[in-house]
Structure 1
Amino acid sequence: MGADTKGKREVPGGLLPKARIFVDDRAQACQFGETQWAPASPVTEIGDLLTGQVEFIRSANDITLFDMTGLALQDLTVAQLLFKQANIEGIGHDISWPW
């Protein structure tokens, strides 16, 4: 999840250098997404991962961030799918929003 407007930030600054960052579109993410705050951070386009051009192996302690600069509906759909899969696998933490 991440920003979708120049100057906007949704993720704590110190997280980006620690995370493996995936984006929907590299140029757009660097201009409008979270990666505008860490332009030198390596990013992988999600399309490259889905088509097998890039391999992604992670360990339990890795942080994965998907900086999607598309529509809010896309963000919510991805979040819901990830949350459901995490529940199935018994991983992650449920952090309830305060409302």
Structure 2
Amino acid sequence: MIAILIIAMLSLGACSRSTQPVETTVGNKTSTAPSAAAAKEEKETLVRFINATQGTKDVYYRDMAAFTKVPSQTVTPYVGLPGGRQDSKHDLKLYNSANEVGTPLTV
């Protein structure tokens, strides 16, 4: 069975150039992400991980840990990852946290 992975990304090329930080609340936790304009200036892509799978997961971006030990049914705050070129793909990989990094569950 293929694990369900939902990654919400703010595509800075496609979204508005908001100058206000974005505040989101999930459960009792509130997090604030930089504005789209600030993220673009830093050449970052804002990413969050919604673990809709069973078990604890890790998400890696370009072989660096973006999210680690995210429990099932958890929504992470946004983090800024290097944006790269507009035409490049985002190299995200999902792993089981219980295993050493090896073969990803999804590519």
User: Would you call these one fold, judging by a TM-score over 0.5?
Assistant: no
Say which structure, 1 or 2, has more relative contact order (CA 8 Å, 6+ apart). Answer: 1
Higher helix share: 1
TM-score normalized with structure 1 length: 0.28
Higher strand share: 2
Q: Which has the larger radius of gyration?
A: 2
